[in-house]
């Protein structure tokens, strides 16, 4: 056997051993009886989830004696397989509760059911599991989170009050396979339909500034009479704002979503008409608190809605 091969075998062995060791239940060693809560996120690279994570961490550090927290996330919002294996890892570690923001509203259900069968309390946050599949599998687990559709409707409603009937607007959607993206698009459509405003185009900007910018540029040139852009997140709103500025069409209104730091100045100045705050920093915290509550009281799971607020220049004063 060649030397190189031996080295490889040793390395692989060490790697596997490492995985197993990190996978061992921590409780064995410590005397801690505090419940272990695992927060399984979508992309940690996304600002929204980042804020969520930070909120959870600061909550835990303030209530350090009440529970232990482990936060894990996946590379991007679409890596469903990796998220499933994260849940499996947490089952192996025998945590007490899993708070999960699922990357897919269906694919994660079976593994969460397995976690519940293993006696783990599971709370669904942010992206709601598909009702049909849940019922089909006979799983009942609580959803704690905002209503994206309602949020989008609120923003659309606020915009509609500034427009006349039959005015033209365009929607810049999120990634076409994202549940919250679809909900936001539906919310915008609800509001526009109610006020008889025409959506001339609705295309995906993939949550990205650059792509939204390209879309907005093209749309103002195709539809010069457009009155507003409804963007499914704030980054895309920023892209649209830049497009309108370079086209010299600063009278066109822009609506965002998420209330990220970068847009607050623009909302204050009125460049962006309004945005929606889902209190990302509190979202995970609500989930965790609910999980702890369930652990303590053994209450039956029920959905709990978290607040969604409209943010305009007035709120930021």
Partner 1 sequence: MKHKIKNLHTAVKDYIGMLVALTALLAIFGLSTKNFFTFTTFRTIANQIPAITIMAVGMTFVLIIAGIDLSVGSVLALSGAVLGVCIVNFKLPLPLAIIACMGVGLICGLINGFIVIKWKLPSFIVTLGMLEVARGAAYSVTGSRTMYIGPAVEVITETAALGLSLPFIIAVVIVIAGQFILARTVFGRYIIAIGTNEEAVRLSGIEPGPLKLWVFIICGVLASVAAVMHTARLSSANPNEGLGMELQAIAAVVIGGTSLMGGRGSVVSTFFGALIIAVLGAGLAQMGAQEPTKRIITGCVIVAAVILDTYRHRLSSRKIT
Q: Which residue has the tokens 């593994």?
A: 111
Is the separation of the CB atoms in 293 and 299 below 8 Å?
yes
Which pair of structure tokens corresponds to residue 46?
């996304």
Which of 130, 190, 208, 281 is in the footprint of partner 1 by CB under 8 A? 208
* Residue 176 binding partner 1, by CB under 8 A: yes
Please give the helix or strand (H or E) that residue 226 lies within, else none: strand 226-231
Which of 1, 21, 166, 261 is in the footprint of partner 1 by CB under 8 A? 261
CB-side neighbour CA atoms (13 Å) of 261: 5
What is the spatial distance between Cα 91 and Cα 68, in angstroms, rounded to a whole number?
16
Q: Of 44 and 80, which CB lies nearer to partner 1 in the complex structure?
A: 44
Per-position x/- string for 25-64, each x denoting binding to partner 1 as judged by CB under 8 A, each - no binding: -------------------xxxx--x--------------
Q: Of 178 and 294, which CB lies nearer to partner 1 in the complex structure?
A: 178
Q: Of 245 and 314, which CB lies nearer to partner 1 in the complex structure?
A: 245
Give whole-number Cα distances, 77 to 129, 181, 243, 307, in Å: 15, 12, 26, 23
The least CB distance from residue 215 to partner 1, in Å, is: 5
Give the 3-state secondary structure of residue 256.
coil
Which of 68, 94, 203, 312 is in the footprint of partner 1 by CB under 8 A? 203
* Residue 247 binding partner 1, by CB under 8 A: yes
* Residue 166 binding partner 1, by CB under 8 A: no
What is the spatial distance between Cα 156 and Cα 153, in angstroms, rounded to a whole number?
5
Site of interaction with partner 1 (CB under 8 A): 44-47, 50, 176, 200-204, 206-210, 213-215, 217-224, 234-235, 238-239, 241-243, 245-247, 260-263, 265-266
């Amino acid at each position: 056997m060649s030397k190189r091969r031996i080295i490889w075998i040793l390395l692989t062995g060490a790697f596997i051993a490492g995985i197993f060791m990190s996978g061992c239940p921590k409780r064995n060693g410590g005397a801690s009886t505090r419940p272990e809560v695992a927060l399984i996120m979508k992309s940690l690279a996304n600002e929204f989830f980042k804020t969520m994570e930070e909120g959870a961490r600061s909550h835990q550090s303030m209530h350090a004696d009440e529970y232990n927290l482990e936060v894990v996330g996946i590379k991007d919002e679409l890596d469903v397989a990796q998220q499933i294996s994260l849940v499996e890892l947490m089952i192996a570690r025998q945590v007490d509760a899993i708070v999960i923001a699922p990357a897919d509203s269906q694919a994660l259900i079976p593994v969460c059911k397995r976690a519940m069968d293993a006696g783990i309390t599971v709370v669904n946050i942010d992206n709601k599991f598909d009702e049909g599949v849940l019922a089909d599998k006979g799983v009942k687990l609580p959803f704690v989170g905002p209503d994206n559709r309602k949020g989008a409707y609120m923003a659309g409603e606020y915009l509609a009050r500034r427009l006349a009937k039959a005015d033209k607007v365009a929607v810049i959607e999120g990634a076409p396979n994202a549940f919250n993206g679809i909900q936001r698009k539906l919310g915008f459509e609800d509001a526009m339909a109610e006020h008889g405003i025409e959506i001339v185009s609705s295309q995906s900007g993939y949550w990205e500034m650059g792509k939204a910018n390209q879309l907005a540029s093209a749309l103002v040139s195709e539809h010069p009479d457009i009155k507003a852009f409804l963007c499914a997140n704030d980054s895309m709103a920023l892209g649209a704002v830049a497009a309108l500025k370079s086209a010299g069409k600063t009278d066109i209104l822009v609506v965002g979503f998420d209330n990220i730091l970068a847009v607050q100045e623009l909302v204050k100045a009125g460049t962006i008409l309004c945005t929606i705050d889902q209190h990302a920093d509190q979202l995970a915290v609500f989930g965790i608190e609910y999980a702890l509550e369930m652990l303590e009281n053994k209450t039956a799971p029920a959905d709990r809605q978290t607040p969604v607020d409209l943010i305009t220049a007035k709120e930021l004063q």
